Structure 1
Amino acid sequence: MIRIHTTSNLSVGTNILLDKNASHHLRNVLKTPLHSQIQLFNDVGQVCEGMIIELSRSIVAVKLIQAIDINTESPLDVTLVQSVSRGDRMDYTLQKCVELGVNKIIPIISSRTVVRLDERKKTSRLRHWAGIVKHATEQSGRVKLATLEKIESLENWANISTAGEIMILDPLAGTSLAKHTLKSASVTIVAGPEGGFAKEELELIKRKKLSTPVSLGPRTLRSETAAVCAMSILQALWGDLA
């Protein structure tokens, strides 16, 4: 069944007008016919099945028929601090990590980050990434959108208070993530850029944050692969990936 995120309150028996982007996606991309049944969900965990009762060039209206009691969110509260990578590589990381259950994403710029963004480009990228997060949430059956924070420098992020356990992905770390003993249900993964974090940056993170370097095995993974691998390990060992 097609799933659409909405910011509206969902109450059985009421009609919901979809926003411009959702309407365009249903009408022009998915070619969804009138009277199709779809599923809507919002930011507070409400999920309803509904029927499209109006489908025009300017309006898509859905009548809510049945509330659905479902929870597909992981028991792990995972934040991803991800160094910005180029183009489709960043899209891939965000898409797959959302599918795997990440709750918050903080894009960062470090000294070896290849991508250089002015304020206009930062705004454009964040808008694009928000779409990636939204569509991955809809496709994967999750009931809450991951939070996408503004792009930070590594130095700024290092000075922000962080709850729970922090793990830096480092191929030279002596302990692998799979053999690590998780101490908290709230976890932050810090993934570096292509070429990894500079030595000074690793020292900065360790000095500012109570963090643990962990590796992902004997092979060096690309920036866009590392976070996805770490999310898979976390969910398989301590989350809900069966």
Structure 2
Amino acid sequence: MYQFFVEDAQIGKEFITITGSDVNHIKNVLRMKPGEKIRVSNQQGKDYYCEILELGDDFVQADILDSEAAGTELGAKIFLFQALPKGDRMETVIQKAVELGVYEIIPVAMKYCVVKLDAKKAENKKKRWQAIAESAAKQSKRSRIPVVHEVMDFASAVEYAKNCQVNLVPYENERGMVATREALDSLHAKDSISVMIGPEGGFSEEEIEKVRTEHMQVISLGKRILRTDTAAIATLSLLMLELEMMEAKQEK
């Protein structure tokens, strides 16, 4: 079943009206017909199961058959603070992070980031990254599209992360998995969790000292040094497993 997203204003009591670029995608790419079923979500995470009723020139109208609240979302909200990587690795991180259930993605300019973006380039990148997040949300049947923020400097990112209940900082020089296990064991299914991932050059000593001063949990991802994009995916995979297991136990 194909997935689409709409604003609340497009949702009526009995039907949903889809507009914009999705109309062309439904009609000319997917070649869908009246009577076919689709899944539609709003940005609050509510899912609607619908049947296409009419295909207009600039709209698609679908009858609402059923609905449920956030059927595919994690109970916890994970905020990924990703240092700007080289090449197209940020696109890979965003795609995989969305598939793994991340709530928001915050690109961060850190001391040892190789990539330097001026204001114009950063704005163009943000639009591209948000489009990738939307595509990944559709593919993975998310109930909402994670927001990709504008690039933040490190100090601003730390301040924003402090709003979360749990703050995790995987660090290549941290040794031992005890702290990592303790951090995962301390999670709750409804927590807000920040994950701060360093760049290819690693965190600077000043940056690590800053997160320790703010009482963020510095953890290890094992004995091997991971690329920045691998570290993000590995950490989110660990969190998804822990949180999904918690939710499954609570449902029993």
Residue 174 (structure 2) aligns with: 173
Q: Does 1:136 align with 2:136?
A: yes
Unaligned runs of 5+ in 2: none
Residue 45 (structure 1) aligns with: 45
CA distance in 2 between counterparts of 1:101 and 1:118 reads 30
* Percent identity for Structure 1 against Structure 2: 27
| Aligned pairs for 1:1-242 within 5 A | 1-9=1-9, 10-16=11-17, 18-33=18-33, 35-55=35-55, 58-69=57-68, 71-160=71-160, 161-176=162-177, 178-182=180-184, 183-184=186-187, 185-207=191-213, 209-240=214-245
Q: Secondary structure at the match of 2:183?
A: coil
CA distance in 1 between counterparts of 2:86 and 2:24 reads 28
Deviations 1:202-226 (A, max 9, x none): 112222x221111111111111111
CA distance in 2 between counterparts of 1:203 and 1:15 reads 51
Q: TM-score, normalised by structure 2?
A: 0.85
Please say if residues 12 and 64 of structure 1, whose CA atoms lie closer than 8 Å, have aligned partners that are also in contact: no
Once the two structures are TM-superposed, the CA of residue 41 in structure 1 deviates from its matched residue by: 0.6
Q: Secondary structure at the match of 1:96?
A: helix
Please say if residues 74 and 240 of structure 1, whose CA atoms lie closer than 8 Å, have aligned partners that are also in contact: no
CA distance in 2 between counterparts of 1:51 and 1:238 reads 33
The amino acid of 1:227's aligned partner reads A
Deviations 1:27-48 (A, max 9, x none): 4443434543221110122222
Please say if residues 94 and 133 of structure 1, whose CA atoms lie closer than 8 Å, have aligned partners that are also in contact: yes
Please say if residues 15 and 64 of structure 1, whose CA atoms lie closer than 8 Å, have aligned partners that are also in contact: yes
Once the two structures are TM-superposed, the CA of residue 24 in structure 1 deviates from its matched residue by: 3.4
Q: Which stretch of the first structure deviates more once superposed, 22-31 or 104-113?
A: 22-31
Please say if residues 175 and 213 of structure 1, whose CA atoms lie closer than 8 Å, have aligned partners that are also in contact: no
Q: Secondary structure at the match of 2:79?
A: strand
Once the two structures are TM-superposed, the CA of residue 239 in structure 1 deviates from its matched residue by: 3.2
Deviations 1:128-162 (A, max 9, x none): 11111112112112212223222101122234442
Once the two structures are TM-superposed, the CA of residue 12 in structure 1 deviates from its matched residue by: 4.7
Over 6 Å off, 4+ runs: none
CA distance in 2 between counterparts of 1:7 and 1:87 reads 33
Q: CA RMSD in A?
A: 2.3
Please say if residues 11 and 64 of structure 1, whose CA atoms lie closer than 8 Å, have aligned partners that are also in contact: no
Q: Secondary structure at the match of 2:8?
A: coil
Relative to structure 1, the CA distance from residue 83 to residue 19 in structure 2 (aligned partners, 3 Å threshold; closer, same or farther) is: farther
Unaligned runs of 5+ in 1: none
The amino acid of 1:231's aligned partner reads L
CA distance in 2 between counterparts of 1:180 and 1:231 reads 16
Relative to structure 1, the CA distance from residue 85 to residue 29 in structure 2 (aligned partners, 3 Å threshold; closer, same or farther) is: farther
